[in-house]
Structures are given as structure tokens and as C-alpha cells.
Amino acid sequence: MAGLRGLLPRHVPHSHAPAAGGATTQVNAAVRAGAAGLALAITSVPFAWSWLVPLPLALLFHELSRAQSRRTAAWLAFVAGTVFFAVHLAWLFTSFTRLFGPLGGALTLLVVPLIALSWALVAFLAFHRSTGRTLAALPVVWVLGEAARTLGSLAFPWGAVGYAWLPTPVVQAADLGGLNLLSLLVTGTAAALVAGYRGQRLPLVGMLGVLGGLTVYGLTRPALPPPDRTAVMVQGAVPPLDKAVQRQGTELDLHLTLTRQGLAGEPADLIVWPESASPRSPADPGTRAALASLPEPVVTGAPTSGVGRYWNSAYAFDGGVTGRYDKVHPVPFGEFLPWRQTLAFAYTPVLGALGLSGLTGVTPGTTYQPLPLRHLRVGAYISYESVFAQAARTLTANGAQVLAHLSNDAWFEGTVGKAQHFQMGRLRAIETGRYVLRASNTGISGVIDPLGRVTFQLPDGERAAGRAAFALRTGLTTFVRWGDWPVLVAALLWAGLACSGYLLNTGGRYDQRTAP
């Protein structure tokens, strides 16, 4: 605790009355909150030291639990969130500036304060007259806030703290309770560190015991049987603007050529192409004939067009189309244009300035169903959906024996965003106990086993194809069976804290902002 004591300011109880020099005190608190947000950003995935995340989060929790009011707590969390997401999502500004010019980059800057508001809401809701109760509420309300960011048409769950355990054996606990359990462990550890600094040792001893037990759990996972199936993974490396603005039939020829090179005259169980690898649906006669020339079943990304609508789809093809999945979570303001008709006055000039006047947006899919192919069922999900645990979990619960993540990370080229996306996707393999076959347009393409280990990877950014081993699996993990039970636990804990705090407050015991 000595290191943490050196970083945290000395704790003293506060009352609601503003102290002398209050403005300076608030500025200093905001600076410390911003520093905590920066430290969180540089310790988060994809960095190998992400297990350090509980330390800067403890700094932030310390400041939030000492805030004089709900508004102050919300403001400090907003400052921390703004700094965190500005750094963590810096690739968004870089990528869109490179692809669409200064206007494209400037528009991405709006994302940062919007997401930071979710942190502000967490701090607002967790606040209590007692610093101790605020500290107790922060871990569970934080997890509820992360869960809320997976819901609705504007869902954007990037930056969840649970991914911090990826470099450690603790990450294997994802098969018990998914990402939200891992986030609860991070936030609980952060709160326990603050409590320990304030002289309350029991929470810290308890959390260290839990982490120790889960470390043993992670280190003693049963060895996986040798994989007995073969997939041909294809990486087309087609420039992203070519896909967004003008599709060429040569894309199909390119993926066919790469596939034959990858097959090398040998049989395979499955061919996996990236998101939107085919410029037209396999229902198109020319595309159907081309795919029928391949000797093995294929899962490919391709567009689907209807009357006034467009879907980003994954198709199963084996002599003909055997199944189709439509992307349920298109990227808000990227693929999906929320309130397109209502905000047409804003969309029309902006899309025109970006050279995307014809962009109408993707229609979201409605169901998660595996794709049937001969002797296997493939749970396909597309690009951004890999950061939604619900997608892979539901596909697995509905019978998927292997997962296929079709992506196009060309948008992230040259930035840390590509590695963030890949590392977060590793957790879906652990949560579901399935192999994940990840085919991305420019990488990172590879295979992840049910323990989250990368067992095969194509050269990043190159046009390539390769044979990779995998296995079909049918058992269900606790997380797949029971879902996001940690969210329910967090909600019950928060409700209990809120009710007990209300009773104590109405009894007159907490008339001032007090120490625990």
C-alpha cells in the first residue's frame, strides 16, 4: 500500500460547507481525476501491463468518493472520462482524418464527451452522503454503467475495464460470468485499495483472496484436446474506401485466388472470408457460380439489398446458400445512421462533404442464429459485434459449434485500434468455450482457442491465406448457460446500498458529508 499512499492525497472528512480555497481545491481534484483518466488509458488493452488498471481506477474512486456533491462527483468523472476516451480512442480521430480529411476527424471528436457522460452518470448515481457508502457503490454502479453502454441504437461498449485481466490467469473467469464479472473484479479491487489506504484492511484482504482463488482457477483449466478440423483463413487487404464507395467484381476474383492458394489442393472443413469480402450477395447468379467452383463450404461477408434497405450480412455457402446472418449491431454513425429521416438536415451536408452522399446506412438484423454447413454449425458475427458478449453468447446458446468473426479492420490501419479490437475479441472465445476463426480484410486475422490463446495468425496488412486448425465444441460454459448474472448481482447490491443509505439518512445519522 506504500506506493498507493504516495499517489493519493491525504484523506480528511468534508462537510457540505465550502472551505476556504474551495475553487483551488476543486481544480486540483479535477487535475487528479484527469491524471487518473490518462493513467487508465495507458494501462488499458492492448498493453501487456493492463492488469495495472485497478491502480489508476483506485485514484479516480478516491476522488469521486471525497467529492462534496453529486454534481462535483459527476464533473470529476466527466473530466476523467474525457481524458481516458480521448487517448483510448485516439485511433478514431487518426483513421477518419486519414480517410475523410479534417472534417472526418473533427466529427469523431464529438464521440469523446458523449461517452464520458456515461462515467459522469455513474458517479452521480453512486454518490452518497457517506464517503464510505459512495466507495462501496462505485464498483457496482460502474459495472451497471458498462452494461448499459451495450444497449440501444447508440451502444458503444469500447473501453470496458474488465479486459484488464487478459494478460493474467484471472481472465479465465470469463467462462463463469463474462466480461462484466471481470469488470466487477477490477472495480472491486480498486475500491478495496482505497479502503485499505483509509485503514480498512478487510475489503482488501477479501479481494486479494478472490483474485488468488481465480488465479488458481485460471492456472488449472483442463488442457484442450488437439484440434482435428482445418479452416482456410483468407485476408484480402482491399482498401476500405473502395468497399465504401465503389465495389469492384475483382474483389471476388481476388478472394477466390487466395482461397485456392490456401487450399493448396488439400481438403478443408471450412473456408472463412472477411466482412463484405464479396461485393454482391451469393444469391447473385455470377457470385453463386463463382463460389460453387470452390470444393469446400464457405462463410463470407457480403451485402444484402432489399427495397430501400441494405444489410451487412454473413452467408453460409455450400453449393448454394445454406444460411444468412444480418449484423445486429451496426456501428452507430458509421454504418448505422440513427434518426436518419429526422436529422436529414444535418446528415445530408455532412455526408456530401465526406464524399458519401449515397450512404443510406445499414438496417440492423434482428436475430442471432448459427449458419448451418454440412456437419457443422458456425456462429458468425461481424466486425464491431465482437465487443458485444451477447452476440457470441447467444449464437453459442443457439447451437454454434465454432465462431467466425468476419471483420474489416482496414479502418484502423496504422493505429492501436486494430490491436484493441483483436484483444477484446479474444474474450469471446473464453466466455463461450469456442474456437474463434477471425477473418479480417487487413488483419488481424487468426484463430483463437477456447482459452483465449492465439494459435494461428496471418501476416498483418498483407494479402494472404493459410490453413489453420480448430475443433468443434458442444459444451456450454456457465456464462453461456446463465448469462450476465454479475449485472443482476451488481443491481441488487446497489439497490441494497441505496435502501440502507436512505433509511440511515432519514434517521438523521448522515446530516453531513462524512468519512466512512
Does position 13 have pLDDT exceeding 50, yes or no? no
DSSP string, 302-323: EEEEETTEEEEEEEEESSSEEE
* 191 and 241 fall within a common domain: no
Rounded distance between C-alpha atoms, residue 190 and residue 139, angstroms: 8
Asked whether 145 and 119 are in contact (CB, 8 A), the reply is yes
337 domain-assigned: no
Same domain, 174 and 108: yes
The residue assigned the cell 494459435 is 455
Q: Are residues 95 and 238 both part of a single domain?
A: no
Domain shared by 236 and 216, yes or no = no
Range of the domain at 421: 229-329+364-480
User: pLDDT-derived band of residue 31, with 50, 70 and 90 as boundaries?
Assistant: very high
Burial class (CB in 10 A: 0-12, 13-18, 19+), 91: buried
338 within a domain of the structure (yes/no)? no
Residues 206 and 294 in one domain: no
Task: Report the number of distinct structural domains present in the chain.
Answer: 2
- Domain-located, residue 514: no
- Which pLDDT belongs to residue 505? 59
Q: Is residue 222 packed enough to be buried (19+ CB in 10 Å), middle (13-18) or exposed (0-12)?
A: exposed
Nearest Cα to Cα of residue 315 among 216, 435, 404: 404
pTM of the predicted model as reported, rounded to 2 decimal places: 0.91
d(CA 431, CA 160): 15
One domain for residues 153 and 260: no
Residues 455 and 499 in one domain: no
d(CA 50, CA 164): 5
Both 181 and 277 in one domain: the answer is: no
Same structural domain, 499 and 476 = no
Biggest CA–CA distance in the chain, Å, is 80
* Burial of 17: CB neighbours in 10 Å, binned 0-12, 13-18, 19+: exposed
Contact 427, 163 (CB under 8 A): yes
Question: What are the pLDDT digits (tens) for 434-461?
Answer: 999 999 998 899 999 999 999 999 999 8
Phi, psi angle pair for 78, to nearest 5°: -65, -40
- Give the range among 14-18, 135-139, 256-260, 371-375 with minimum mean pLDDT: 14-18
Query: Which among 111, 150, 47 has a CA at the least distance from the CA of 385?
Result: 150
Q: What is the mean pLDDT of residues 163-175?
A: 98
Are both 286 and 425 inside the same structural domain?
yes
Amino acid at 195: A
Asked if residue 352 belongs to a domain, the reply is no
- Lowest mean per-residue pLDDT among 329-343, 412-426, 444-458: 329-343
Q: What is the CATH number of the domain that holds 393?
A: 3.60.110.10
Residue 303 contacts residue 361 (beta carbons within 8 Å): no
Residues 216 and 233 in one domain: no
Going by pLDDT thresholds of 50, 70 and 90, the confidence category of residue 362 is confident
Instruction: Assess if residue 414 is contained within a domain.
Output: yes
Q: What separation in angstroms does the CA of 106 have from each of 87, 90, 350, 354, 384?
A: 15, 12, 11, 12, 22
* 346, part of any domain: no
Q: Is residue 16 part of a domain?
A: no
Confidence class of residue 8 from pLDDT cuts 50, 70 and 90?
Answer: very low
What is the structure's pLDDT at 361? 78
Q: Based on the domain organization, do 171 and 235 belong to the same domain?
A: no
User: What pLDDT digit, counting tens, does each position of 44-95 carry?
Assistant: 999 999 999 999 999 999 999 999 999 999 999 999 999 999 999 999 888 8
Percentage of the chain modeled with pLDDT above 90: 73
In this prediction, residue 376 carries a pLDDT of 95
Q: Is residue 335 part of a domain?
A: no
Residue in 138, 187, 167 with CA at minimum distance from that of residue 49:
167
> pLDDT digits over 484-514, tens only?
999 999 999 999 988 876 555 555 444 445 5
